[in-house]
Amino acid sequence: MRVAVGGFQHETNTFAASKADFEAFAQADAWPGLQDGPPLLTAFAAGQNVPIAGFLDAAPALGFTLLPLVWCSATPSAHVTEDAFERIVARLLERLAEVLPVDAVYLDLHGAMVTEHLEDGEGEILARVRALVGPDVPVVASLDLHANVTEKMVANSDLMIAYRTYPHLDMGATGGLAAQALADLLRTGVRPAKALRRLNFLVPIVGQCTMEEPSAGLYGLRQALEAAGGGALSLSFCFGFPPADIRDCAPTVIAYGPDRASADRAADALAAAIDAAEPAFGIPIFKPGQAVAVAMESNDPRPLVVADAADNPGAGANGDTTGLLRAMVESGAHDAVIGVLWDPHSATEAHAAGVGATIALDLGGKSHPGDTPLPGSWRVEQLSDGVVRALGPFYAGATINLGPTARLSRGGVQVVVASRKTQCADRAMLAHVGVDLERQRLIAVKSSVHFRADFNPLASRIIVVDAPGPNPADNTRLPYRHLEPGRRLMPGGPAFVPGAAATSVRS
């Protein structure tokens, strides 16, 4: 079975400051850089927690002859540039045209890509692939749990399977599921019936964790409905990606069944349960000063872990806002650390000064509207090249390159400053520059949820702060313009009204 494989991953925060150009996809981060042709087949380690790696691992046992196209990803950010999108998709289609005819196509997609010229990046990719291979070739894709699924995506694919966990511990497993589903389609020759349901309220990223209720129960129901027999062959629940100002930003359910009635039945059952759970999605949000006080007043020997979620690079932020750091310093916090702060200039200055030096810096605060740098003197405690072997379950052994990195201190506060922006979802990103995590009273991470996979066992408690950044915990702070009218901006919250006065993105 000749199966063409490729992928193009980006999660787009349309309120963020920095766009994703071609170079953003060409360079490696925790995942490989752009792969073109045969190198794609050997770019991923066996068992790596990446969808295409799971597909490649499963392929030999399924009898696939793999025909490599193009694969790439970039750190979440603002829009993908038109140049990057068109160059990458053109090359993917060129590779596909070269290997035709094929028996099937697998694509590793995200589902929340917005470009400078397109609201629905993945819908356009799938439509162009479908136009090239024709209506009879099965096209299967894996999706992120945060996909904003559109009718165009569903119409131009035969099956899409989304992650079931957040933190995303099953990315590789989802690629394996996609491989098995594709093998089943090829074996039976039967295309499944499809059903798409869109929910009418947005859930902020921090309220989507599948380790907590109500998400844990809803994904359990998803599994039960899929396993019931005679119903859905595949059932996915995508939360959507709220900081994407597009019409189809919303949670969705995608069901595939042996017939339309089965697909509709499964989709309706899961969508009804999600609707009923709407009031349960709210979580408490703390002001930065409150979070610091809770940590300093705690008698628990374990650290309090604080999510600086609005400034999460994994949700399109740059990771350089100073609201929480400022509160830590001004409150006189001790045994406290925050990371990873993106500030290439400060990291360079620290490396030039050397360990033990005290230097004046305007730290962070350089990219988000309304945020400002934190001036002051900092002691350089430790330096590194930023090459980190991740040990936690989310990055799953990947090598992360933070660029030149420094651990700085001021009073009882430490900050880990890096030259490349990366979500702090692994303890090693702090520990590799000498942070003794178990001795901290407060650990602040620039992450929304993924950090929980590695930090939960360490924490006495986890709380979320309301600090500056383009991914606020309250979606009503985002100045939407293109969202479908009537969609509620928060669970139980106000409906979107086009043209209504919007608050600023400066959370």
Whether the predicted pLDDT of 406 surpasses 70: yes
**Confidence at residue 397, expressed as pLDDT on a 0 to 100 scale:** 80
Q: Are residues 291 and 183 located together in one domain of the fold?
A: no
In a domain, 256, yes or no: yes
Question: What's phi and psi for 467, nearest 5 deg?
Answer: -120, 170
Q: Is the pLDDT of residue 438 over 50?
A: yes
Domain end, chosen from 174, 191, 208, is at 191
User: pLDDT band for position 132 (50/70/90)?
Assistant: very high
In a domain, 507, yes or no: no
**Mind listing the pLDDT tens digit for each residue in 333-369?**
999 999 999 999 999 999 999 999 999 999 999 999 9
Q: Within this chain, do residues 455 and 312 fall inside the same structural domain, yes or no?
A: yes
- Look at residue 484 in the predicted model and tell me its pLDDT: 97
**pLDDT for res 507:** 30
**Residue 174's CATH number:** 3.40.50
Q: Check whether residue 342 and residue 276 sit in a common domain.
A: no
Q: Are residues 248 and 351 in the same domain?
A: no
Q: Per DSSP, what are the bridge partners of residue 444? A: 306, 338
pLDDT, tens digit, 9 for 90 and up, residues 165-184: 999 999 999 999 999 999 99
Q: Is the pLDDT of residue 495 over 80?
A: yes
Beta-bridge partners for 285: 464
Which helix (H) or strand (E) segment holds residue 267: the answer is helix 260-276
The fraction of the chain above a pLDDT of 70, given in percent, is 98
Q: Using pLDDT thresholds of 50, 70 and 90, give the confidence band for residue 86.
A: very high
Query: Which of 161, 191, 221 is the last residue before a domain boundary?
Result: 191
Q: What's the one-letter identity of residue 396?
A: A
In a domain, 118, yes or no: yes
Neighbour-count burial of 498, counting CB atoms closer than 10 A to its CB (0-12 exposed, 13-18 middle, 19+ buried): exposed
Percent of the chain with pLDDT over 90: 94
pLDDT at residue number 244: 98
- pLDDT tens-digit profile of 246-270? 999 999 999 999 999 999 999 999 9
**pLDDT of res. 487:** 98
Quick one: 169 and 237 in the same domain? no
Question: For residue 330, how many other CB atoms are within 10 A of its CB?
Answer: 13
Q: In terms of domains, do 144 and 203 share one?
A: no
Q: Which of 85, 143, 147, 136 is nearest to 112 (CA)?
A: 147
CATH number of the domain to which 266 belongs: 3.30.310.50
Domain match, 351 and 272 both: no
Task: Tally the domains of the chain.
Answer: 3
Enumerate the β-bridge partners of residue 401: 387
Residue 23 domain flag: yes
For 213-246, letters b (16+ CB in 10 Å) and e give ebbeebbebbeebbeeeebbbbbbbbbbbbbbbb
Residue 206 domain flag: yes
Structural domain for 238, as ranges? 192-283+474-500
Do 293 and 277 have their domain in common?
no
pLDDT of residue 300: 96
Residue 229 and residue 294 in one domain: no
Confirm if 146 and 240 have CB atoms less than 8 A apart: yes
- Going across the sheet that includes 35-36, the strands are 35-36, 65-73, 2-9, 104-109, 139-143, 159-162
User: What's the pLDDT at 231?
Assistant: 66
pTM of the model: 0.94
**Of the residues 175, 191, 207, the one at which a domain ends:** 191
- Check whether residue 310 and residue 235 sit in a common domain: no
Is the pLDDT reported for residue 30 higher than 90?
Answer: no
Residues 138, 202 within the same domain: no
Sign of the CA dihedral running 20, 4, 119, 146: negative
Q: What is the pLDDT averaged over residues 43-68?
A: 96
- Dump pLDDT digits (tens) for 444-473: 999 999 999 999 999 999 999 999 999 999
- pLDDT, averaged across the chain: 95
Q: Establish if 506 belongs to a structural domain.
A: no
Select the more confidently predicted residue: 496 or 29.
Answer: 496
Does residue 505 belong to any structural domain of this protein? no
Residue 403 is assigned to a structural domain of this protein? yes
Give the pLDDT of residue 29: 86
Amino acid 500: pLDDT:
75
Cβ count within 10 A of residue 135: 9
Whether 494 shows a pLDDT value over 80: the answer reads yes
Looking at residue 504, its pLDDT comes to 34
Q: Classify residue 458 as left (phi > 0), alpha (psi -120 to 50) or beta.
A: alpha
Q: Are residues 397 and 370 in the same domain?
A: yes
**If you search the block for the tokens 């740098």, which residue do you land on?**
373
Residues 223-245: tens digit of each pLDDT: 999 998 666 789 999 999 999 99
